[in-house]
Structure 1
Amino acid sequence: MTRQLVMCGGGSLAVEVAALLHDLGACGRGDGYFITDVVAPGPVRTADLISICSSPFATHTDISSVSDRDQKAFIVCTGDPTIRHKVYRELVSMDLTLARIVHPMAYIAPSAVIGAGAIIYPGVFVGPFVQLGANVVLHAQVAVHHDARLDASVVLSPGALLCGHTVCGTAAFLGTGASILPKMRLGAYSKLSAGSVLRRPAGDGCLLHGNPATVRRTWPVAFEDET
């Protein structure tokens, strides 16, 4: 059964998500989605989205203007983890349904748990007993090994690697090819830059770079809750 989908975001990540949905439809997946609305405060790549979706959609600047919200699923289509988490919290506060998009060419261990709103690209490996929180994004060629935990709204860029028993806090970000070694933790709202290797636990609100990764900048983090 094809469900109506609202995309929260209309930029490059939205275009990639539309392509993932096209693949799901081509594979005959029964949990496919049909894009009916795009919510974005800024520019929308309308022509590109229509060329992939092969059909028009309504555009909005605010979630509240989407009609029949309780009959549609929502997916957050922005790559900034802080913005992702803010939009996710808004959707949850409105008691709206989040879609879960998993490409058929990703490997997901049967014992892994995937939260609502997750986006998983082709070529991803998710190992046994991994816990993926709500609203996470795993780009192509990401590997998340056994017993790792990602909290809500974590974003892993292409080629990122999480070894066993690692933890990423809420809205953490890994750049392209970044790695976290076994049993290490990257704090909430922290960022590990492209190609960097985290060898020691890192706190909340840090920018880390290098191998071994060291803190280059910090910022205050305010936790409203752990939703």
Structure 2
Amino acid sequence: MSLLDHLIELRKRLIWSMVAFIICFGFCYWQSERIFAFLADPLADALGEGRRLIYTDLLEAFFTRVKISMWAALFVSFPVIATQIWMFVAPGLYKNERNAFLPFLIATPVMFFLGAGILYYLILPQAFHFFLGFQTTGPVDGLGLAIDFEGKISEYLSLIMSLIFAFGLSFELPVLLTLLARVGIVSAAGLASKRRYAIVGVFVFAAVVTPPDVISQVSLAIPMWGLYEISILCARLIEKKRREKEEAEDADAGL
């Protein structure tokens, strides 16, 4: 294909991706109240009955709905967008390259949703109970005032969406490192030798992408450390299969 043909093909894939996103955005805005209820459910369980979230700006609730809809639309339309990316890239790959790359393309959303699910169902309920434990129901020894949580919807949703993105992104680590091992850029021995730097790196990453509290940072850093160790094991398996294939080819060549 000529450069112009490539640009026309790219425009076609971008248009399909944008159409899919717009359709998903419309659907998600229609269902934005349900999406908000789903995202707020861990906090609702921790708060109990009769509690609420507030908004203090007249436009805050509307723009929060728009933000939720865009965020959810990106999730829903991702399979279509990923398919369009694959359809643009695949014709330029050899058959063995397509067969090698396709499993990683499939594993990417699976690992992302696995990380988001672990955060939503396991970590958030514990974290919310911990942070809400700092409330006080009245004066202490006759001094002070009651401390109650009155969260804003925009701040809460910014927090939970950033955490979901951070956990989902961090669970892509084994996919990335295994792909790099597959193409020979990294090795299992090299990853193992850089373990101490990787541990520091995951804690720095967790400190940057999570809220400034130790619970959130450790909750992200420890799974990332475990995923790094899994990546080393995956790299060793790939190297073992590569050696076996090379030995088989050498044996065939010797015959």
Q: Which bin holds the TM-score, normalised by the shorter protein?
A: under 0.3
Judging by fraction of residues, say which structure has more strand: 1
Judging by fraction of residues, say which structure has more helix: 2
